[in-house]
Structure 1
Amino acid sequence: MPETPTPLRPPVDADRDHIQGPADARVTLVEYGDYQCSYCRRAHAGIQRLQETHLPGQIRYVFRHFPNTRLHPDAHRAAEAAEAAAAQGRFWDMHNYLFEHQDGLDRDGLIAAATALGLEADRFARELDDHTYAERVDAHFAHARDSGAHATPTFFINGRRYDEPWDEASVLEAMREPLGWKVRQLATDFAGLSTSSGLLMLTAAIIALLWANSPWSDSYTALWQTELAIRFGDFAFALSLHEWVNDALIVLFFFVVSLEIKREFTDGELSQPRRAALPLAAAAGGILAPAVIYLLFNVGGPNMMGWGVPMATDTAFALGILAIFGSRAPLALRVFVATLTVADDIGAILVLALVYTDHIAVAGLLLAAVLLAAAFGLNKVRVYRALPYALIGIVLWAAVLYSGIHPTLAGVLLAFAIPTRSPPRSAELHGQSMALFHSLESPPIEGHEPSRYQATVRSLEHMVERMLSPAERLGRDLQPWSSFLVLPLFALANAGIVLEASALNLLHPVSLGIVLGLVIGKPLGIIVGAWVAVHGGGAHAPTEFTWRQIAGAGALCGIGFTMSIFIANSAFTEAATLSLAKVSVMLAGILAAALGWSLLRNTAGADGRRVIGG
């Protein structure tokens, strides 16, 4: 998921900030900069051109200190010097001087700067030696971190971090067309919100439910029964739209989930057994307890095979609601839940593949094995292009579908064949990139400048691609499609339940098993699993969150939605029972969210240091 840019913290304040330009300017440009940074020096020249030539009188410019003392040992002292000059009413004069004389930022050079600017040199030197303004500079540094600044320079335009190219044309576009830029930023922010996918799924589910119970319900049924065929001469491959969503598009979701699972196994929480033990044990409890509760109501009955429905967790909803709590759900708790849901997904995938398969066509299975071997072979010989894997994946999906095993398994298996590789050495990449950029600054060769530019851009593109493994790159590129297209379409196709009496019989054993399994079984199983792991010595007790927070997060894991409905489609063949199961899943999701909310809303991360080990 793309990162949601952090807003400027704190906002611009005339009593606190150094401001240049009219108070009513339509653009406020804030820079977090470093006086010893060569990139900041170049940006300084560009900002002056913006102020004087391109947008005169239209920019309110604010400079805040962000000295990188690890790379620039004189930067903090230079920032203090600017503040000392500000105390004498000459901040902007010193600001300009420091960028124009970056080779003279030691103490003697700064004293010379004060003399050249006509400041009270003795006062300036005394305040510099006493570090009178060090605390102010440190406060700016802390604000930079709070605002999500990671490098110098970092810019904010009208309170929003600017992450686009720094060239003048791009910056001018953002400033001259603030509405268009703001729309782009809002779209980026929405895509980065943990809750966005869940909100879209919820909206799609509500639309489907209203549509299926409206006077136009026939059109809902007709839409999803529409046949869509792929034809090659006399050969035709036909599925209904509902089947294309449930048997084809949803495979993309499982592929993306499995890429995340693989990442967790290779370099995430699941790669370290002691750290993984707690969420894995909690996940095991969260899988077993709901299944047991369901079987208590349905063992020996015609719907006993529905035990897989309440064991699933909808990752998007669980993590999305958890993110709303901010600091009340500490990062460690969110990592715990993310790892737990990854393990939960593994369990759900195994249940789908091993339990809800009626028949197996051996020929399809053999073809799938050959194709999977080919994919791992490409990985072995270090083929990093996505196209060969995509072609294999399409045929692999068809083979698994023909075999009788649910085709989601194709997405899972293919994901584990996608190569990962160690990150490149940054020193070599930095040297190569600098060499490429320097080549563009050399004198142009008549007639060859366009081709030289294109060759340089292609080289830089290859370098950027090299910095991400194929698995990471595919996960990044496909995540938006999975979250904002596949999952809402799945909800739209599967949540259209006709609310007849049979679908609302909430005292039916199937409904009781699903609702109580998700709402009670999930958090109970997660708590018991975690407790056994800690007190049995198999896992370390974390200090960052409490048992109450584990219970609240476990309750949120009772929102089964996508995965529970998906398993229900395989577990129940009778239409009335399937409708009842889907209504029960939705009801359980509402109750689980409410329970999780009530448990988490009054907790604070700091309490965990005192409670978790008890």
Structure 2
Amino acid sequence: MKRTALAEFLHDEAAGGIVLALATVVALVWANSPLGDDYVALWETKLDLGLELDLHHWINDGLMAIFFFVVGLEIKRELVCGELQDRRTATLPVVAAIGGVALPALLFTLLTAGTPDAPGWAIPAATDIAFAVGVLALLGDRIPASLKLFLLTIAIVDDILAIAIIAVFYADDLSILWLAGSALGLVGMVELRRLGATRPWQYVPLAIVVWVAMHESGVHATIAGVLIGLLMPTGEIDGRNVLEELEDRLHNVTAFAIVPLFALANAGVDLGGGTLQDAASSTLAWAIVLGLVVGKLSGIGGAAMLALRAGWGVLPDGVDRGHVWGAAALGGIGFTVSLFIAQLAYVDGAQIAIAKVGILVGSLVSGALGVLLLLRRRAQVAP
């Protein structure tokens, strides 16, 4: 039987989560092997492709813009014909996502206020869709299928908030001239849509202009990917949905190539030389772990319970409050976007290494806690 678009999406996310986990393990093993120096040297290789950036930055600024472009497409799909279109259905996960961003950031800030670690306040606010849905997939039919959609919607709203945070709080030395150039490129794309351009390739030249101008403006270049995704045309060509077809084509590229490559380039932290000991005694690492584990669980779960009590939304069919708390714990799997924000928040290598340890530990604990809560819920309702 042919799968629905949502089933295909969830399947790809689950499989992508496995590939992402493997890439993370490879990065950690490589960075801590006798070839650890080669690991560092590889990502520092300079590539002059019009912009003189090293391989690490081409991945983080260039390839990840494609990842965020697909995020933009996903957000647009949800707004146009998905869960975010129906206000009553969308209210509960939206409120839960807001709580899941605000509380971790608040806990982190309370622990690090007035210290050099404070700029990383947004690190524990992120949820990794691939890993979270991947963990749910491992549970199979032990959980209701509608819980996956509920968590997916929370993660997409989380992405919207994370994108806004990156754009507003992690911009450097803004250049109004370059920003205006990027805006003009976006206006050009709107004009293309008005003129009836429906082929994605027709937008590529302007998309490159927007990305370059955004990169030079001081706003992180990945924001260009999101904005371009939101401006892509909808409708049909020869009976094919333009938006869904473009998302389908690029989703596997990001899930199985770009995001794992990002993990390979960013997750490799040398755990020797006292790094683990430094992390164990570091407020930064504990602030991230606390934010991901306690902040996400309490923020998502607590906000959802308050919304239900206030009558602001309804639970999906088959999902009860116990399931919500399990999903809330899985929301603490930050990883990809958390690593991304850590690279933006800090320039000191030691801080970044400690932040990575906190992200890895917090994500692992959150994943294990989410599985435990969901399996416990199943045991409670089993005959």
Q: Does 1:489 align with 2:261?
A: yes
Counterparts of 1:227 and 1:506 in 2: how far apart (Å)?
34
Q: Find the counterpart in structure 2 of residue 43 from structure 1.
A: none
Structure 1 residue 589 displacement after superposition: 1.2
Specify which of 168, 172, 183 is matched with residue 354 of structure 1: 168
- Contact 1:544–1:606 under 8 Å retained in 2: no
For 1:320-335, list aligned pairs within 5 A.
Answer: 320-335=134-149
- Contact 1:201–1:487 under 8 Å retained in 2: yes
Q: Find the counterpart in structure 1 of residue 240 from structure 2.
A: 468
For 1:111-130, list aligned pairs within 5 A.
Answer: none
Q: Find the counterpart in structure 2 of residue 501 from structure 1.
A: 274
Q: Find the counterpart in structure 1 of residue 56 from structure 2.
A: 242
Identity of aligned residues (%): 39
CA separation of 1:418 and 1:411: change in aligned 2, threshold 3 A: same
- Contact 2:100–2:296 under 8 Å retained in 1: yes
Q: Does 1:308 align with 2:122?
A: yes
Q: Which residue identity does 1:315 align to in structure 2?
A: I
Q: Could you list the per-position Cα deviations for residues 236-256 of structure 1 after superposition, in whole angstroms to 9, with x for gaps in the alignment?
A: 432110011000001111001
Structure 1 residue 358 displacement after superposition: 2.0
Q: Which residue identity does 2:246 align to in structure 1?
A: L
- Contact 2:126–2:334 under 8 Å retained in 1: yes
Output the TM-score relative to the length of structure 2: 0.94
Structure 1 residue 329 displacement after superposition: 1.9
Measured on the aligned residues, the alpha-carbon RMSD in Å equals 2.1
Which structure exhibits the higher relative contact order, with contacts defined as CA atoms closer than 8 Å and separated by 6 or more residues? 2
Counterparts of 2:288 and 2:253 in 1: how far apart (Å)?
30
SS at match of 2:48: strand
- Contact 1:294–1:517 under 8 Å retained in 2: yes
- Contact 1:247–1:406 under 8 Å retained in 2: yes
CA separation of 1:355 and 1:605: change in aligned 2, threshold 3 A: farther
Q: Which residue identity does 1:587 align to in structure 2?
A: V
Counterparts of 1:549 and 1:266 in 2: how far apart (Å)?
27
Q: Find the counterpart in structure 1 of residue 333 from structure 2.
A: 559
For 1:157-556, list aligned pairs within 5 A.
Answer: 192-230=11-49, 236-421=50-235, 465-499=237-271, 500-504=273-277, 505-556=279-330
- Contact 1:328–1:605 under 8 Å retained in 2: no
Structure 1 residue 604 displacement after superposition: 4.0
CA separation of 1:543 and 1:474: change in aligned 2, threshold 3 A: closer
Structure 1 residue 193 displacement after superposition: 4.8
- Contact 1:544–1:605 under 8 Å retained in 2: no
Q: Which residue identity does 1:201 align to in structure 2?
A: L
SS at match of 1:357: coil
Q: Find the counterpart in structure 2 of residue 427 from structure 1.
A: none
- Contact 1:228–1:240 under 8 Å retained in 2: yes
Counterparts of 1:220 and 1:292 in 2: how far apart (Å)?
35
Q: Could you list the per-position Cα deviations for residues 151-180 of structure 1 after superposition, in whole angstroms to 9, with x for gaps in the alignment?
A: xxxxxxxxxxxxxxxxxxxxxxxxxxxxxx
SS at match of 1:239: strand
Q: Does 1:583 align with 2:351?
A: no
Structure 1 residue 283 displacement after superposition: 0.3
Q: Could you list the per-position Cα deviations for residues 593-613 of structure 1 after superposition, in whole angstroms to 9, with x for gaps in the alignment?
A: 1101111124349959xxxxx
CA separation of 1:411 and 1:266: change in aligned 2, threshold 3 A: same
Specify which of 598, 603, 610 is matched with residue 377 of structure 2: 603
Q: Does 1:592 align with 2:342?
A: no
Output the TM-score relative to the length of structure 1: 0.59
Counterparts of 2:133 and 2:68 in 1: how far apart (Å)?
17
Counterparts of 1:192 and 1:514 in 2: how far apart (Å)?
29
> Highest CA radius of gyration, 1 or 2?
1
Q: Which residue identity does 1:298 align to in structure 2?
A: T
Q: Which residue identity does 2:351 align to in structure 1?
A: T
CA separation of 1:149 and 1:414: change in aligned 2, threshold 3 A: closer
Q: Which residue identity does 2:327 align to in structure 1?
A: A
Specify which of 342, 345, 348 is matched with residue 574 of structure 1: 348
CA separation of 1:391 and 1:503: change in aligned 2, threshold 3 A: farther
CA separation of 1:326 and 1:502: change in aligned 2, threshold 3 A: closer
